[in-house]
Amino acid sequence: MQAALSVLVDDAPVLVRDLREWGIWQRFGVAVHLTAGRHRIVARVLDDRSAIRILDMDGRPAPVTSQTDVRAPYAVVPPVVLPDPNPLDAMTRAQKAPNAVSAYFAAYLANVEGMPDVANVLLAPYLQAEDASADMLESSASYSHDDPAYPTEVKHRTERDLMVRAQKRDPKLWYSRAWLVLDDAESRGFVEAVDPLRKVIAEVPDQPELLEQLARIYARLGWRAERKKALVDLAERFPDDVRALRMNLEMLDGDGPVTDADKIAARVKALDPDSEVDLDRALARHDWKAATAELERLQKRRPERKEIASRIADVLQRAGDPSKALEQLKKALDKNPQDATSRFRLADRAYALGHDDSLRKSLADALLAGAKTEELRSAIDLLEGTTDLEPFRLDGKKAIREFEAWEKTGKRMAGVSARVVDYSALWIHPDGSAQMLEHELLKIQSQEAINQEAEQKPPEGLVLRLRVIKPDGRTLEPEGVSGKPTLTMPNLEVGDYVEIEHVTTTEGDGDKGRRYRGPTWLFREEDKGYWRSEFVVLAPKDKTLDIETRGNVPKPAVRETPTYTERRWRVDESPPLPKEPESVGAREYLPSVSIGWGVSLRDTVLRFTDLASDETPIDPRLVAMAQ
């Protein structure tokens, strides 16, 4: 059973694969003895795709028929689990092979199964001697390239050391020689690799990988004539090597002649019917009809590939045939209801045809299907020119006028800067997704504040305002610079205001709103005074909202509507928090509000336990080092 974590036959467990156990990945088969009759196979798999292979003990397909009727009865006599047929299992458990020949071939098989660490462990006892086998040294070097036990620099150093030893033991090992030539070229320059690699090719003319590498070096050096000659030679000498043919085809598509490129493409397709070579070429020359036909051919060959319908729709849209594109998008969505891209494109097409409510209908359907909704929500906000939180936005300049009128009474907010407005409105939807409007208005009161606020990270989500407001009412907006991770607030001076307002969207829990954990809103911090700090929460009426407050937080003002409950917390004139050395973390006692629903102590402990537990299997080599 491909990618199975556990397998049950007739409700009896016959195979368990615990990923915390080192070397377990090769345990994918089990031998069982079954009575005559109907039997049920159930597996827990890692992916939504898998494959079941039922074989006789000699490895040939078992002469059985399969059904998918879950209601039919099946055998009640439990299966008898036979000795493990996997030849690697015993050696992996023992962490050694009975002899060098077994170690060599077992290591090869382990690497094929995606376990280079197991391969290296099996070979390690036979690599210590000075006269170790050159083939074993070279094999271990290639396995070390992907060995997960060591950091990248250690992998490369180990790989090189083993290649050097292998080449010394047997100078005719072409792979080690070529590898060392290319590795030296990374530091010395690729020109230095041309002649040594040509020499290896002259001595070993029957290996296509060598010519491929030489062609790549020519490409990196910009030697077009030499590259073309090498690729033509490669295709002629190895007419059945798909990778070599693809490299030659890429060159011919760029430089011609086209007739030669067509012949190579036909050869590639004959060798690999699943190849997308014709599709790539059709898309490159904007031949939408040919691209559609090729995608339809691939769809017939591989009906399990859900993404092909969406790709056909994309090609049809480019070809100017929106009606057929629409049909393909519907097929793609029927196959995969969680395909957010296809759903969004269908809604977009319907909106273009005049169905103004298409986006909101698609949003409702996406919520029912448990699909992502961020694209749809953003489109709705963009088209309507507002967000759902528009009624809850504040007028920043009005807040400044009120603040300055308050200052004229002789009052002043302490701190290097003052948060005139620290405001958020959080709208939580029944599926656990949410939109959060954050509005910050900061008055610069010192040079230290200028240094802190002059560079701003671009806000997340939909940015509504990002600007400097001068005391005379002028506004200045920052300009982005390519490659610069921050935005510079222009001409920032003491007495200016920095205004940032944006909306972020978070997805639901994927379980139709069974649980929701909201943000923690703080009403105070160390170096800034808060003139007005306000937190507004809109939650569905049918959800019991859990509210946790810390510090001196007033009770919320509550307003009921037919569908949701609005709660509003507000704290005015909150001074900066004094710094107390060696005190507990400020978050422990700062005035704050946390909200959520469906979050229990047991559930939280289980989740934290999963996060804290290390599921990575412990490599026996690292254990030996630690001991």
> d(Cα 129, Cα 120) in Å, to the nearest integer?
15
Contact 554, 510 (CB under 8 A): no
Residues of CATH 2.60.40.3140 domain(s) within the chain?
Answer: 392-597
Cβ contacts of 548-555, under 8 Å, gap ≥ 24: 548/593, 548/594, 548/595, 549/591, 549/592, 549/593, 549/594, 550/588, 550/589, 550/590, 550/591, 550/592, 551/523, 551/524, 551/589, 551/590, 551/591, 551/592, 552/591, 553/523, 553/591, 553/592, 553/593
Higher pLDDT, 619 or 143: 143
Predicted confidence (pLDDT) at residue 261 exceeds the cutoff of 90: no
Kindly state the average pLDDT of the residues 153-170: 89
pLDDT band at 287 (very low <50, low <70, confident <90, very high): confident
What's the rounded Cα separation, in Å, for the pair 593 and 551?
Answer: 9
Lowest average pLDDT, out of 87-96, 197-206, 314-323, goes to 314-323
| Model confidence at 370: pLDDT above 70 | no
Tell me the torsion sign for CA atoms 151, 154, 159, 160.
positive
Point out which residues pair with 4 in neighbouring strands.
45
Question: What Å distances lie between residue 615 and 3, 465, 476, 607, CA to CA?
Answer: 17, 44, 51, 14
Does the pLDDT at position 275 exceed 70?
Answer: yes
CATH code linked to domain 392-597: 2.60.40.3140
CB neighbours of 224 closer than 8 A, spacing ≥ 6?
Answer: 218, 255
- With pLDDT > 90 as the criterion, what percentage of the chain qualifies? 17
Candidates 328, 385, 325, 333; CA nearest to 362 is 333
Average pLDDT for the chain: 83
Model confidence at 368, pLDDT cuts 50, 70, 90, reads low
Which has more confidence, 50 or 101? Answer: 101
pLDDT in tens, 28-68: 788 999 998 899 999 888 776 678 889 888 888 888 988 88
Determine the average pLDDT of the residues in 608-616.
68
Q: How far apart are CA 24 and CA 219, in angstroms?
A: 42
Region for residue 584 given its phi and psi (left: phi exceeds 0; alpha: psi -120 to 50; beta: otherwise): beta
pLDDT tens string 162-191: 999 988 888 888 888 888 888 888 888 888
